[in-house]
């Protein structure tokens, strides 16, 4: 291996570790906020929005489109399931779903997107 290849591999490994050190706590914090604060709708929504902003600052504009797309897709899926009678929420705010659910779906989608990018960097593509 040449010095250039070693440097490139070392940089890639550092980027992977950096992504993991940000993405895993991000997912855990999203889960904990919803698990313990789901009845406090404004607090939950605010905390999830702050988590989203931190993700957007960390990854810059790479995640803006996936956040928006998955917020809408997840919310529409929830609305459809509720309309079909699959489940309901005790304190719905907007079209029979809690407001914080839009943000949570966006955060979940972006987390999945970033993990996909991470797998591609590691070499799990195709």
3-state helix, strand, coil in the chain (%, to 5): 80, 0, 20
Q: What is the pLDDT of residues 72-86, one digit of tens each?
A: 898 899 899 998 989
pTM of the model: 0.72
Q: What is the pLDDT of residues 101-118, one digit of tens each?
A: 888 888 888 888 888 888
82 burial type by CB count under 10 A (0-12 exposed, 13-18 middle, 19+ buried): middle
Question: At CA 57, angle to CA 14 and CA 79, rounded to 5?
Answer: 110
Q: Could you count the other beta carbons within 10 Å of the beta carbon of residue 13?
A: 12
């Amino acid at each position: 291996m040449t010095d250039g290849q070693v440097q490139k591999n070392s940089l890639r490994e550092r980027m992977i570790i950096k992504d993991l050190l940000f993405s895993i706590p991000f997912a855990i914090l999203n889960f904990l906020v919803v698990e313990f604060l789901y009845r406090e709708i404004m607090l939950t929504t605010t905390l999830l929005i702050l988590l989203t902003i931190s993700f957007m600052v960390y990854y810059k504009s790479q995640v803006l489109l996936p956040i928006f797309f998955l917020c809408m897709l997840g919310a529409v899926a929830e609305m459809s399931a509720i309309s079909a009678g699959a489940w309901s929420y005790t304190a719905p705010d907007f079209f029979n779903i809690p407001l914080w659910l839009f943000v949570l779906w966006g955060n979940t989608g972006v987390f999945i997107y970033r993990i996909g990018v991470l797998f591609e960097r590691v070499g799990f593509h195709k």
